[in-house]
Amino acid sequence: MKKTKIVCTIGPASDSERVLAEMFKAGLNVCRLNFSHGSHEEHKVKIDRIKKIREELKMPVALLLDTKGPEIRLGVFEKPVEIVQGQEFVITTRDVIGTNQICSISYKNIAAEIKPKSRILINDGLLELQVIDILNDTDIECVAVNSGTLSSRKGVNIPGLRVNLPYMSEKDISDIEFGIENDVDFIAASFTQRADDIIQIRKLLEKHKSKIAVIAKIENQEGLDNIDEILAEADGIMVARGDMGVEIEPEKIPHLQKQLIKKANIAGKPVITATQMLESMTHNLRPTRAEVTDVANAILDGTSAVMLSGETAAGEYPVETVAMMTSIANSIEETLDYEKLFDENASLHETTITNAIARATCSTALALDANAIITASASGITPRALSKFKPKVPIIAITESPQVMRKLALDWDVYPVLADPIKSTDNMFDVCSRIAKDTGHVKKGDIAILTAGIPIGKAGSTNLLKVEIIE
């Protein structure tokens, strides 16, 4: 069983029942729905289909709603136009139809805030403009740094510009409320720049009495600068290398990725590494060697999950891509030095009762060469604490809550199992062992390290550890 979780974007290539079921079996853990595209009606169809398949297959697959966020986009063109290196071009906040001389932009404050010599990057940086002059309060004169094509609604990045847009647009609020109504498990908060962005989402969730987990997408310099306060507030982060690689020099991304993953590991929160991981498999049956190495290095860095975007949303081989990612994860996880990993992580986390028991559990599992760690958890706190210490053996998390089960779908090495409430302390460990055996996670003769908390059902009360040979 792979320890690293896989997040897959669901789109036209992957939203049939047959393909979804095959992706589930190939190793998918979390379904990502990109709300930059599609209507609520279209997303409702996808969500219902995912729920149907996961119920049929009895698999703890979670739903992640990825918000549109405070994006800047070009206006409308009648048709794509060619821009030639060195030509002058006007960006305007006026509502005009785009030509090869001028186009509209959605950010209305740009003329007041941008400076001459600023870079304007369009369509993931494929076309770069440099600002020559601010002509008036609506128009900016630019020169094309390179040749390229412009067309309707392309994304715009302006490195170094602090964009003064409301963090949550009316669309984002509507999308999140839709997610609450449809029981999504995670919200991926696009373009998170500060802790207050996460707090705004939390307030909206609290208003609706929702406990959806919030993942902060780190995509620009502001998010990087404020990563510590963001991590303190968010439930996890995503290393969103797409926009990050546009606004920040691409050669800096590998080091930043390692830094972000390490900070998330220290905080004990899940981290998703995303963008272009197996992009060539959008059209090819096999990935490039560089892509395989990229996925492998993210796992070696300590990522909790790896993500597929266009590969599964619009690619020709969505099932094969998930299977390849699973194969890479399994191969790399077999080579990890788990004693070294434990030693490195044992000193990173503050000494609370839960952390002390989790550390002792993982240490005992290593010393006895155990086959599994089994825990009963009402809140998910114990399995997450165990996951921090990167154990060699699987963490079987038994919970009575479907919501907790699905939230654990993003945590490294955690295999959640839904069960009836365990009411008696006397037989708690026997029940946990039986459930783990019945679900195929352990077998007779295996050594299991069991941990839980008394009183049963009290969140964060982990205080027991027991070694057991499975009967």
What domain range is 208 assigned to? 5-69+168-334
Rounded to an integer, what distance in angstroms lies between the CA atom of residue 450 and that of residue 443?
A: 15
Instruction: Tell me: do 322 and 356 sit in the same domain.
Output: no
Strand arrangement of the beta sheet that strand 414-418 belongs to: 414-418, 395-399, 372-376, 447-453, 462-469
Rg over alpha carbons for the chain, rounded to the nearest Å, is 24
Q: For residue 433, what are its two tokens?
A: 């062992």
Instruction: Tell me: do 192 and 251 sit in the same domain.
Output: yes
Reported pTM? 0.93
Residue 163 lies in a domain: no
Instruction: Tell me: do 315 and 391 sit in the same domain.
Output: no
Of 130, 157, 184, at which residue does a domain stop? 157
Known catalytic residues are 32, 73, 217, 275
The pLDDT averaged over each successive group of 10 residues in the chain (471 residues) is 97 96 99 95 98 97 96 93 98 97 96 96 93 97 97 90 88 98 98 96 98 97 96 98 89 97 96 97 98 98 98 98 99 97 87 90 96 92 95 95 97 95 76 87 93 72 86 87
The CATH number covering residue 346 comes to 3.40.1380.20
Q: Amino acid identity, residue 424?
A: S
The CATH number covering residue 274 comes to 3.20.20.60
Instruction: Give the closest residue to 356 by CA, choosing from 451, 432, 434.
Output: 451
Q: In the chain, what is the greatest distance between 2 CA atoms, to the nearest angstrom?
A: 80
Of 305, 334, 363, at which residue does a domain stop? 334
Of 275, 299, 334, at which residue does a domain stop? 334
Query: What residues form DSSP beta bridges with 140?
Result: 91, 134
Instruction: Tell me: do 254 and 310 sit in the same domain.
Output: yes
Residue 62 lies in a domain: yes
Instruction: Tell me: do 354 and 389 sit in the same domain.
Output: yes
State residue 429's pLDDT score. Answer: 80
